[in-house]
Amino acid sequence: MWDGLRTGVGMLLTTATATAETTNLRIILLNDVDRKDAFPGIAAAVAEARSGTDNSLLLHAGDVISPSVLSSLDKGAHIVDLMNNLGIDAFTPGNHEFDFGPDVLETLMAEATFPIVSSNIRNGAGELPDFAAETMIVDLGSVQVGIYGLTSDDTYEKSSPGDWTFEDTIATGQAMRAKLVESGADLVIALAHTSFSEDLALAGNGAADIIATGDDHDLFLHYNGKRVIMEGNSQGVNIPVLDLAMEWDDDDLEWEPSFTVMQPSGEDADMAAMVAAYEQQLDDALSEEIATISVDVDNLRASVRTMETNFGNAASDAMMMVTGADIGMTNGGGIRGNKVYDAGSIMTARDVFAELPFGNKTVVLGMSGADVMMALENAVSKIEDTSGRFMQVSGNMAVVYDRNASVGSRVVSAMINGAPIDPAATYSVATNDFVARGGDGYSTFATAEVLLSADASQLMASHVVDHIRSNGFGASSEGRITFQ
């Protein structure tokens, strides 16, 4: 329903009185919507926003196909299908559109029935991708509205664009505004998946009249008398709506903005039915039998937090192998099933997601050997309390502990690929994003160089499912972790 609160920073809250010469336009902005459950409410809100107005534009500022459990299985195809039923007038890709690589992006965008505009993305051949237009103009009769699209170049760090490139956002924005004006545009919109600082720079450099943006996930509505910046929260929690009343004064187009924030309350029945079908698809996928277990798999809380386990081994190996890292490590406290799977039983994908329920993602850090040793000391610093910080490690590691030694001196030896960890060497360490942020006391991880960020990665549980499907389980103890 309409939220009567009008919000913003330095925002002019005026609504022009319509006259015979006034052209009205309502702009509805979505950004950062990757959860299918959000779509029924969004669809209902969009329909309400579009009612009672002759001219409206539904814009989407990107980040849709990832991350989610179902996207880890279908690479985001269901999100594009849901978006095809929203009536989007223009979409620009965000960094998460590259999470599965540019080939998947091209495949998905070929399935889109909505217009895609992108001005600074270049494919491996240095060309604008086939699925996108560089600019577009919407004809409102007396007013021509130009739109161009931008994707921040930090996609290199946040995602997996391969050999695709991103031209400078500010320079591109200025060039696209000039191009659109030359082509007859009277009002220019930058549809941008860019950071807050880039948004301010686009406005400050006059790259557009309206910057409709995503990426930050923050509700922000701003008008300084010349430019508008607008962004909504992720998942359509707060949807910004901009009403423009435009009039010509000789050769000058004058316009005044009025902002409203929508908070979805109802649901669109057709969209809800589509989401329900995808819920069933996800349920079917999670019911997949990924392994018939040949050995007992002990995931009891007391086991995963105090000793080597074969599930912990599989999880650590999965992260190491999928990323190509030197080491794989994951905290036992993130394994939550607290049960034993008997030899001969069947493990499903749902079992793995139940064991790893926090939605953690696989990340890779660059760490010195000295910091790796500090992390291993932290792993057993509270082993007597069955602390969740106890680390399960990948198969190329062999760590010997003395649990009776004083805290900080419990690592007797630590080997990687048969050689002692070199304190001066640098290792790439795959772990989960909770630990990487410094969770469970891993302060050395929090300050490490990020080689693969959570934004650029996928769900750890999906990686573990794939690993178990291909490799099953080994013995409960392979000598990775021993105590003297």
- Give the type of residue at 146: G
CATH number at residue 302: 3.90.780.10
Cα-trace Rg, the chain:
26
Whole-number pLDDT of residue 14: 32
Tens of pLDDT, residues 228-259: 999 999 999 999 999 999 999 999 999 999 99
Domain count, the chain: 2
Quick check: 101 and 160 in contact, CB under 8 A?
yes
- Mean pLDDT computed over every residue of the chain: 93
Pairing of strands 397-401, 481-483: parallel
Whole-number pLDDT of residue 19: 46
Axis crossing angle, helix 196-204 with helix 169-182, rounded to the nearest 10: 40
> Predicted confidence band at 52 (pLDDT cuts at 50, 70, 90)?
confident
Tens of pLDDT, residues 393-444: 999 999 999 999 999 999 999 999 999 999 999 999 999 999 999 999 999 9
In 3D space, the residue among 2, 73, 1, 82 whose CA is nearest the CA of residue 34 turns out to be 82
pTM over 0.75? The answer is: yes
36 and 113 fall within a common domain:
yes
E strands present in 165-274? 165-166, 187-193, 210-214, 220-223, 228-231, 239-249, 252-262
89 and 15 fall within a common domain:
yes
Whole-number pLDDT of residue 73: 80
| 281, 305, 340 - which closes a domain | 281
> Predicted confidence band at 144 (pLDDT cuts at 50, 70, 90)?
very high
| 250, 281, 312 - which closes a domain | 281
CATH number at residue 256: 3.60.21.10
373 and 451 fall within a common domain:
yes
272 and 132 fall within a common domain:
yes
Residues 208-236 have a mean pLDDT of 96
79 and 134 fall within a common domain:
yes
27 and 66 fall within a common domain:
yes
261 and 304 fall within a common domain:
no
357 and 254 fall within a common domain:
no
Residues 270-282 have a mean pLDDT of 97
36 and 61 fall within a common domain:
yes
Q: Which domain holds residue 175?
A: 2-281
Residue 57 to residues 145, 169, 192, 213, 289, Cα–Cα distance (Å): 10, 23, 15, 14, 45
249 and 331 fall within a common domain:
no
| 281, 296, 316 - which closes a domain | 281
260 and 293 fall within a common domain:
no
135 and 171 fall within a common domain:
yes
